[in-house]
Amino acid sequence: MTETSDVAVVGGGVVGLATAHALRDRGATITVYERGTCGGSQSGGESRIFRHLHDDVRLIEFARESRSIYREWEEAFGTQLVVDNGVVWLAPDVTDYVGQLTAVGVQVETLAPADLQERMPALAPYEGPAFLDLDGGAIRAAAVIRALSSHIAGTFVSDEVLTMWSTRHGSVEIRTNGGRGEHSCAVVCAGADTARLARGVGVSIPVQLGLHGRVTFPMQDDLPAEAPCMVDVTDCFRPGGSYGTPTPGAREYSIGVEGNGRIPVREDLSGIEPSRLESVTAGAVDYVRSAFPGLVPTPLSFRHCWVTGLPWNGDAIGVWEADQTYFVAGDNMFKHAPALGRALASAALDGVLADDLRPEARLGGAVAFESAPAPDFG
């Protein structure tokens, strides 16, 4: 069977779905290739953190654009996609952070210890600097995937893309296990598989592969259900960094930790030791016991996902171009998916990729302030 359409989108995670949504809104015909469940890999889980703070001011602006598009989607889909519960930041010094965000129009509020305790009664006493990103919050990740998938229903090919290439007459041919497709252009948002497909057309992407885990815990019964997200870049409760996000609509809170929370893997995605997986859970439990007396330190569930980082920053994003195909790589992209999807759709249909998305622009890597590095979370 031969699939034909204007644009092929390889990968049914949030970036691929956002790209397909933007393409359809512009009137293009699309084919979305996904071998598994949409949003079932790196985009999986119930929630993500929407935060504005990044090392690179360009990503702060990108996040602001995406937040606006999320609101457009909420109106169009008739459902809440980002909970307005904010993001609390614990940091050694928040002065530069607050100044950087307010300079570009992001609403923030510095938090005294009493204010922080009122906002986050589940958190252990903390006397250090803190601030609240008022426009941030918990992304209802599963709801986003459902809404986007429903909007582009009927465009999916449930099969694995084996290889792809540019034909002599200017189209892109895609071969799957059970068929082929021919398209005017292609956008590859295939996570851990992107670099493999890019190598097939002579493009080398320096993806740094790993496996990240987060653990979900129940809240104590006497706590309010609504809680802000949290990013901790101090060593107050645990060396390194940690982050947390509530599960929208449930009395649960997920914790991710740096260090033993991120497991290196080989290029073929092998080498995952069971003991390292156990260390992810142990690190999260230790953090909860130290930092979150308002959570029950007994895990409810686990979520592991591939990390596909780029070498210049944990938040880096890059798009490589070969003939009529665009290959998207990076990590922590859920929050940026709306703006990234529109930019990729414009590249596919107009033939012009935004300069900041090109690899040489090192998006995410330009440090805007030096007091503390932004973590590669959420």
How far apart are the C-alpha atoms of 339 and 120, rounded to whole Å? 31
- pLDDT given at position 23: 98
The per-residue b/e assignment along 222-246, b for 16 or more CB within 10 angstroms, e otherwise, is eeeeebbbbbbbbeebbebbbbbbb
- pLDDT given at position 366: 63
Q: Quick: pLDDT tens for 259-308.
A: 555 677 777 777 777 777 788 889 999 999 999 999 999 999 988 888 89
Q: How many CB atoms are located within 10 Å of the residue 277 CB?
A: 15
User: Stretch 65-91: mean pLDDT, rounded?
Assistant: 97
Q: Which tokens sit at 53?
A: 């703070």
Contacts of residue 230, defined as CB under 8 A and 6 or more positions apart, other chains included, come to 87, 88, 89, 90, 120, 123, 243, 244, 245
- pLDDT given at position 278: 83
How far apart are the C-alpha atoms of 335 and 139, rounded to whole Å? 8
How far apart are the C-alpha atoms of 224 and 98, rounded to whole Å? 27
Q: Specify which of 187-196, 203-212, 235-244 reaches the highest per-range mean pLDDT.
A: 187-196
CA distances from 182 to 13, 35, 158, 196, 366 (A): 22, 18, 16, 20, 38
How far apart are the C-alpha atoms of 11 and 35, rounded to whole Å? 8
User: Stretch 340-344: mean pLDDT, rounded?
Assistant: 98
Q: How confident is the model at residue 369 (pLDDT cuts 50, 70, 90)?
A: very low
User: Is pLDDT above 50 for 196?
Assistant: yes
Domain positions in the chain? 2-361
User: Is pLDDT above 50 for 231?
Assistant: yes
Q: Which tokens sit at 86?
A: 């904010």
User: Stretch 172-198: mean pLDDT, rounded?
Assistant: 96
Helix axes 337-350, 14-25, angle to 10 degrees: 50
Homologous superfamily, domain 2-361: FAD/NAD(P)-binding domain (3.50.50.60)
Q: How confident is the model at residue 375 (pLDDT cuts 50, 70, 90)?
A: very low
Neighbouring C-alpha atoms within 13 Å toward the C-beta of 206: 10
- pLDDT given at position 261: 54
